[in-house]
Amino acid sequence: MDKVLLVIPAYNEEKNIRKVVGRLTEDFPELDYIVVNDGSRDSTADICRQNGYNLLDLPVNLGLAGCFQAGMKYAYLKGYQYAIQFDGDGQHRPEYIGAMKDKMDEGYDIVVGSRFVERRKDWSPRMVGSRLIGAAIRLTTGAKIKDPTSGMRMFNRSMIEEFALNLNYGPEPDTLSFLIKQGARVAEIQVEIDERLAGESYLKPMVAIKYMTRMLISIFLIQNFRKR
């Protein structure tokens, strides 16, 4: 597993980052990680420095797309064969990473840690939104992705290069749709995703509706004009 890098975007995660990285270093020392501090206004970066965490400290807030791309550039330059998007709020469980890598080794470019592979009767708002975006991806690409909104995604070396060297790649469902159109092979495995350890998610109801609307417009319209 020494060729897997966990890219951990962190913005104002002072209440969570100790537990997230502490669990990795104590229970999964075989995994490499990099905390990408996205210009946090709290003590996230200070906590990382004080504890000797592997830290990429961005001087300004770039947002998730720029923050994640910085982590992928690091993975590319360091020669990692696999990189996984891993939340800094405690929602993602590292025990699934081995299974995701095993799936990747079957010949896939991207493996999604999905909440809904084995769940068929969950009609929560989160599930409905994910199904709508999944339906849009299926209509435009033919690929059936049950949980396109999951933020736990593993990428192989060719995908790391795509994210590292191009400007049009945010870690969002519309990018997943675009990459499938470009020939990327995507698989899912069932995972459990926890509630964030502390703090509030930025995806409040109105923000979530706007996000879903933006993703649908992007998948149906903007992706047709997007270039690599």
CATH number at residue 217: 3.90.550.10
State the pTM of this model.
0.90
Segment 23-38 mean pLDDT: 96
CA distances for 117 relative to 12, 50, 114, 152, 212, angstroms: 31, 40, 6, 14, 20
The pLDDT value given to residue 142: 95
pLDDT tens digits along 48-105:
999 999 999 999 999 999 999 999 999 999 999 999 999 999 999 999 999 999 999 9
Identify the pLDDT of residue 147.
93
Name the residue range of residue 131's domain.
Answer: 4-225
At residue 200 the predicted structure's pLDDT band, cuts being 50, 70 and 90, is low
Exposed/middle/buried for residue 47 (C-beta within 10 Å: 0-12, 13-18, 19+)? buried
Give me the number of domains the chain comprises: 1
Model confidence at 227: pLDDT above 90: no
Q: Give the model's pLDDT for residue 201.
A: 56
Q: How far is Cα 153 from Cα 114, in angstroms, rounded to an integer?
A: 9
pLDDT of residue 207: 80
* Radius of gyration of the CA atoms of the chain, in A: 17
Tell me the pLDDT tens digit for each residue of 108-162.
Answer: 999 999 988 876 556 666 678 888 999 999 999 999 999 999 999 999 999 999 9
Quickly tell me which residue has 């081995």 as its tokens.
98
Look at residue 126 in the predicted model and tell me its pLDDT: 67
